[in-house]
Amino acid sequence: MTWESPGVVSLDLVAADGSALPAWEPGAHIDLHLAGAPVRQYSLCGDPARRDTWRVAVREVPGGRVSGLVHKALRPGALIEAEGPRNNFLFVAAPRYLFIAGGIGITPILPMLRAARLAGAQAMLLFCARSAADAPFLAEAREFAEVVTHCADDGTRLDVAARLATPEADTLVYCCGPERLMNAVEQATAAWPEGSVRFEWFTPRSRPEGEGADAFEVVCAQSGLTLKVAPGVSVLQALREAGLDRPSSCEQGVCGTCECRVLEGEVDHRDSILSASERAANDVMMTCVSRAKGARLVLDI
């Protein structure tokens, strides 16, 4: 365990039997299962080339059960269960990258900075934090890329709209941070080419007030079951109540574990993972949060 900045501790995890850990790519996360607490996802932020250890970093969140346990009770040598890795924030080859991180949002981006450097790509990180001292892994990030800090405390806050007003050729933007930053980046890059701006959400995006939750029917093409999804019940819950064993983790639409192929019907996507084009393609849905726009969905289950 290492203190990375005030309120942020990193954990180096090793297999209990000393064996090599599963390989992973930049952008991947794992599930941490701590006794008596809900499952939480944490981005892998170490070196993907190392198979002997997985590094994650945990920010202490006021009232957060998992982060509280990690900060107050977990100690070196403890045995914990980890699952994964999974990756919804794929690092794609490009000649130039613009990374935008807010606070602990640096974690999925850190291995990307390393990979960009190894690939010989041009990379810049805009790192937003309250102060430079509050920016975890700042020194490490500087080893791999040009870093510009934007700190509230010294009046250098990032003017997102101005910085991203003009699409930059051959550039991929990767952004992870608090919702306000992510929304600002999404708005500012509305005119950038489709697929050139990618986001990783740690917590679900806010949903509109009073969003509808009408009942609809789900047909499971493989099992032949047809079930009703009542208002206030998720597709995932309905599938489980019908006796189907379905995987899940966050149950908030941020991890992708419950993804399912859609064969018919239009999905009301409510997750924080799929891009606009993936939503429009209507090929998959996150069953823990997304619903049907119409009266019926046919799923490949």
Site for ligand FES, rule CB under 6 A: 248-251, 253-258, 271, 286, 288
Nearer to ligand FES by Cβ, of 129 and 285: the residue is: 285
Rg (CA), the chain: 20
Minimum CB separation of residue 131 from ligand FES in Å reads 33
Mark residue 120 as left, alpha or beta (left: phi above 0; alpha: psi -120 to 50; beta: remaining). Answer: left
Nearer to ligand FES by Cβ, of 111 and 253: the residue is: 253
Minimum CB separation of residue 34 from ligand FES in Å reads 17
Q: Around Cβ 234, how many Cβ atoms within 10 Å?
A: 21
Nearer to ligand FES by Cβ, of 147 and 254: the residue is: 254
User: Nearest Cα to 41, choosing from 182, 199, 270, 204?
Assistant: 204
Instruction: Give dist(CA 74, CA 67) in Å, integer.
Output: 10
CA distances from 222 to 216, 219, 262, 269 (A): 19, 9, 12, 22
Minimum CB separation of residue 259 from ligand FES in Å reads 7
Nearer to ligand FES by Cβ, of 149 and 257: the residue is: 257
Instruction: Give dist(CA 176, CA 107) in Å, integer.
Output: 9
Nearer to ligand FES by Cβ, of 66 and 158: the residue is: 66
Phi/psi of residue 87, each to 5°? Answer: -140, 115
Minimum CB separation of residue 289 from ligand FES in Å reads 6
Q: In this structure, which long-range contacts are made by residues 47-51, counting pairs with CB atoms below 8 Å and at least 24 apart in sequence? A: 47/111, 47/114, 48/23, 48/24, 48/111, 48/114, 48/115, 51/20, 51/21, 51/23
Minimum CB separation of residue 43 from ligand FES in Å reads 14
Minimum CB separation of residue 109 from ligand FES in Å reads 21
Minimum CB separation of residue 291 from ligand FES in Å reads 13
* Per-residue exposure over 157-184, b if at least 16 CB sit within 10 Å of its own CB, e if not: ebebeebbeeeeeebbbbbbbeeebbeb
Nearer to ligand FES by Cβ, of 171 and 248: the residue is: 248
Minimum CB separation of residue 270 from ligand FES in Å reads 10
Nearer to ligand FES by Cβ, of 85 and 136: the residue is: 85
Instruction: Give dist(CA 181, CA 110) in Å, integer.
Output: 18
CB 215 within 8 A of CB 228: yes
Nearer to ligand FES by Cβ, of 138 and 239: the residue is: 239
Q: Apex CA 133: angle with CA 108 and CA 54, to 5°? A: 30
Q: Around Cβ 92, how many Cβ atoms within 10 Å?
A: 12
